[in-house]
A and B are shown apart, each in its own frame.
Chain A
């Protein structure tokens, strides 16, 4: 069970907003992670480790930069809930073993709501709303269960 506070964003959050181009050459993900969502005060002012990032449609659209999900993981984002995910971001996040939840009603979640996520339900503890979670296809779940695609190779 994951519980955390929602840090909410709108539709089409692109990878440039998650981590800007000028930081991709920094030597470590830890150094890059200081610039996560740097132009979004709802993140920079309110995020604490273990919080849950909530997006609208097409979360993570844009570039293939794996640095984007990597800095989200590095900063301690517990899970990402979105109405839908962009393809490359989705694949990168799965490869890194990040918990992704596709929830068509993500827009009903407000900034600061307390969320609880278990195996098959997302519960908004603030509003009392409960949403079923579609399970990942077995193939992808097996990758997440091994902590990412490299864990799968080394099984």
Chain B
């Protein structure tokens, strides 16, 4: 078995599992957020007529998509979540503390775990060597009650990444390139296993960026084998007990893809599909109205650091607005202490409270008709951040910072650091 299959087997009654097999698995955590939890609460309370969640310690609720409450309906949604949390005695409820996936990584996920979340980007936790996937509210309600869920064992794709990272290309550029090659359905129902020296060279932040976007190729799981950097992250987080699974010698993969990042150019995904990816050179000079730095994809300290290094002692163009949203309070505080927030604000950025922000269109940063957004988020679907007549372009933190200076799509290789 490969490591993915071993984690599934370890959570099932089976000693061995094979791709295609359907198994019931025990869950280590079940996460839901304010876009999906209330529907799950209705199903749990009414359709299932359930009384108690299987383990209050393992049920995590996060308010992040509509915080601070952006409408009366959002406020009612949040109150329904708070009421449910009180009734069930849930100890882990986050209210405006950050994006659910960032908080899960900071406070809950351990290598070797099996987790489901009512959010498609739950696959992010593969960065720590956990298997995690998004499901809908009915599955979440069933999991809250049972503590188990049925799951098909996926085939795995091995993605070997070699080479030295160039200064102006990041994990985001790599994953955009991979999705462009695979297409938006190229990994449907499969596990994407990233490996090789260029992956090992990445810190956890970059690994999370890569795993976060596996769903954009249709994948069920992302997975990166835990190593010394994983152990260091877990040690700092104070969670030192966990299991690590390794590929057997005869581990099987459906296929293997090879990448070399040495000559990776900054990548951009064109509207309105994440796989519509090209080198930045195809877009240079295109005028932009709004720029967003944030989201569970690229709202981490390291992303803010990249942008601040480019924007230090520079001003953003008067024709563009720059919105920066740290992915969690922890990141926000650290970025403040290091002076990154001051640098970004002095350049002209607006800073928003931690949460999904302008990735989701649930709070601020909504686009008007005909506007263009250049963003570090993970989706560029039509109308996702406001008007159906707006356009969304996806890129990495260096590209959005360079573009903020000119107000047009700008290759970060042109900006002196």
Contact = CB atoms under 8 A, between A and B. Distances in A.
A92 B139 CA distance: 8
Contacts of A17: 381-383
Interface in A110-155: 137, 139, 148-150, 153
Interface in A47-98: 57-58, 61-67, 69-70, 84, 86-88, 91-92, 95-96
A16 B218 contact: no
B164 interface: no
B185 A86 contact: yes
Q: Interface size bucket, B side?
A: 35 or more
B22 A139 contact: yes
Interface in B367-417: 379, 381-384, 388
B39 A87 contact: no
Contacts, number: 117
Contact of B135 (A24, A64, A69): A64
Given A21-B361, A66-B36, A149-B142, A91 B136 contact: yes
B71 A25 contact: yes
Nearest to B220: A87
B136 A65 contact: yes
A91 B239 CA distance: 33
Interface stretch (B73-81, B91-99, B240-248): B73-81
Contact of A21 (B77, B146, B150, B360): B360
Interface of B: 22, 34-36, 38-39, 43, 47-48, 65-66, 71, 73-74, 76-77, 117-120, 122, 134-139, 142, 146, 150, 184-185, 188-189, 218, 220, 273, 360-362, 379, 381-384, 388
Return the 10 tightest CB-CB contacts between A and B, nearest first.
A66-B136, A92-B136, A64-B134, A58-B185, A25-B73, A39-B388, A66-B137, A95-B138, A16-B381, A25-B77
Given A25-B73, A61-B184, A87-B218, 14 more contacts: A12-B185, A25-B38, A58-B218, A61-B218, A65-B35, A66-B138, A87-B189, A88-B120, A91-B139, A92-B136, A139-B22, A149-B139, A150-B48, A153-B142
